[in-house]
Amino acid sequence: MGNFKGVALQLLLVFSLLHLSFAKINWFYNYHIHIRNDLPLPMLKGQDYTWDTKINFLHTTLFFCNARWVGRKRMSFDAFTVGRDEQRCLHYHNSCMWSVREDGIYFSQNNATWEYSYRW
Ligand SMILES: *[C@@H]1O[C@H](CO)[C@@H](O)[C@H](O)[C@H]1NC(C)=O
């Protein structure tokens, strides 16, 4: 009887821990990262570069993006980091939306309002 209680408690503990980590970590979501070219370049404007990712087991998924505006600007920014983007990119089709513009890089979590995020 004592032993059964012990096993039951352990199971309960394991299930609780599993539940906690599943609740906290969005392992199963497929995130879409979109980087849109909104530079004043007639031929390329609106070009959307997209890829998908899931959050890894260690919760350390990181993507950075090297942006280069040939002959003008060049910079590198974090396109996806777990701590910053895990929640905010769930609002709009699991998408992180980035827009590369003349004055810098903008982020949107709804593809409608844009927040200035990185300077060139
Ligand atoms: C974002 O909005 C634009 C229109 O403003 C649309 O063309 C584009 O497909 C949208 N992108 C996504 C990923 O929904």
Q: What is the pTM of this model?
A: 0.79
pLDDT at 100 over 70: yes
Q: What is the mean pLDDT of the chain?
A: 86
Q: Which residue's alpha carbon is nearest to atom 12 within ligand 1?
A: 111
d(CA 36, CA 100): 6
Compute the distance between CA of residue 104 and CA of residue 118 in angstroms, rounded to an integer.
Answer: 6
Residues with CB under 6 A from ligand 1: 34, 95, 111
**Tens digit of each residue's pLDDT (9 = 90 or more) over 2-27:** 666 766 666 666 665 555 555 555 66
Distance of alpha carbon 50 from alpha carbon 87, whole angstroms: 19
Q: Is 45 helix (H, G, I), strand (E, B) or coil?
A: coil
d(CA 75, CA 103): 12
In testing the pocket of ligand 1, which one of 30, 47, 111 has its CB within 8 Å of the most ligand atoms?
111
pLDDT above 90 for 57: no
Give the atom of ligand 1 at the shortest distance from the alpha carbon of 32.
Answer: 13
